[in-house]
Structure 1
């Protein structure tokens, strides 16, 4: 256990602070990794109507569960030219997911799991980007870190402007729909960050496999933030 992991334990919060309007009894992780059949033949995740149907069917099988998944999951969503580069003569995709996705409906209110200050409030309005994005800075006596909230509604940026001080449990935004959230089935991308690396509008949510050792340090497991356990996909 490193120093960050030891220090953040005392600031853990329940997921019920993050989603106070959602009732759930457990957390379950659908498998969306490369090789999974979760989205059928739509490996690019562009058929949002079909993806939504599959998510709804999965949720119906687990009616008392909060669906959350994705930390360090390798996903075919990102195997597109936008996320590729050539490395040593071969193509490498930036497809290792650095956060946890919470698959909750558009319009769901998001509340801060810890006190902090808004340092990024920006609409990354590109296909398969975050859309409206918030980043909070959390500063305690023995710890500084950041939390990122992606795929929000545009109204979230008006609610949480840069510089605003946030108390634990304060409403900071809402889940956006596919029209404004970067063209995804509605969900929250939540990410822990130890160093913003100078970014003021956006931050990587996926990493190249060859760089995962570095990114695991910069973006620790979101499990560390919450009292409930976020399981890996079966």
Structure 2
């Protein structure tokens, strides 16, 4: 049985759908250039709408990545998001949704990067795939070993603070990956728009996992 990724009570908790595309005119350079200001903006949206978490982003063409040179390249910047973000307070627990093993882990310590990252490998209904958990606290990497068994339901991490999550407002980047393509501890969470077809094929929509957390039909 597929379990939760974060705590959520469908009878009491609500989700706020964030839009980080160019349609969102509130998000200006003043907000995005300062992580604390950006965090306060996210927090105010959740509080004003009485929501426990914000969510969204799969296959979203985002303008917010212009805040970091990490997403720039000579030929075309990376702007298409390949996972789902769950926004909430620093320290929010993160759980393993199904029996897995540790594929790899790493502290991706660049401005705008994942920060502390765990990648787990799953066998589910005859399918083999990976889940990347990004923007975690550094302590979540302590004691991990590649190949280590991780039981379903185990708390594996919490949302990291800015100093350990790549200097973002606290959130979880949750991404499914079919083929890791030889990478360890890291995999692109944002791609160039011209390469969207190949990346979206390798990184399917996590909705079929997350619907068990948020009880969406």
Tell me the residue number matched to 1:120: 104
**Cα distance in 2 between the residues matched to 1:29 and 1:195:** 29
- Superposed displacement of residue 65, structure 1: 4.3
1:151 equivalenced with 2:138 (yes/no): no
1:43-82 deviation per Cα after TM superposition (whole angstroms, max 9, x unaligned): 7x33122212211221122214421111111112223543
Structure 1 unmatched runs, 5+: 1-10
Structure 2 unmatched runs, 5+: none
Tell me the residue number matched to 1:61: 48
1:91-116 deviation per Cα after TM superposition (whole angstroms, max 9, x unaligned): x2111010111111111111101110
Tell me the residue number matched to 2:19: 31
CA RMSD of aligned residues (A): 2.1
- Superposed displacement of residue 160, structure 1: 3.8
Secondary structure class of the residue paired with 1:226: helix
- Superposed displacement of residue 149, structure 1: 0.3
Tell me the residue number matched to 1:85: 73
The answer on whether the counterparts of 1:31 and 1:38 sit within 8 Å (CA) in structure 2 is: no
Tell me the residue number matched to 1:214: 198
TM-score by length of 1: 0.83
The answer on whether the counterparts of 2:70 and 2:110 sit within 8 Å (CA) in structure 1 is: no
**Cα distance in 2 between the residues matched to 1:203 and 1:172:** 19
Q: Greater shift after overlay, 205-214 or 27-36?
A: 27-36
**Cα distance in 2 between the residues matched to 1:127 and 1:207:** 17
**Cα distance in 1 between the residues matched to 2:160 and 2:16:** 22
Shift of the 113–125 alpha-carbon distance from structure 1 to 2, 3 Å rule, reads same
- Superposed displacement of residue 157, structure 1: 0.2
TM-score by length of 2: 0.89
**Cα distance in 1 between the residues matched to 2:157 and 2:145:** 11
The answer on whether the counterparts of 2:134 and 2:172 sit within 8 Å (CA) in structure 1 is: yes
Aligned residues: 212
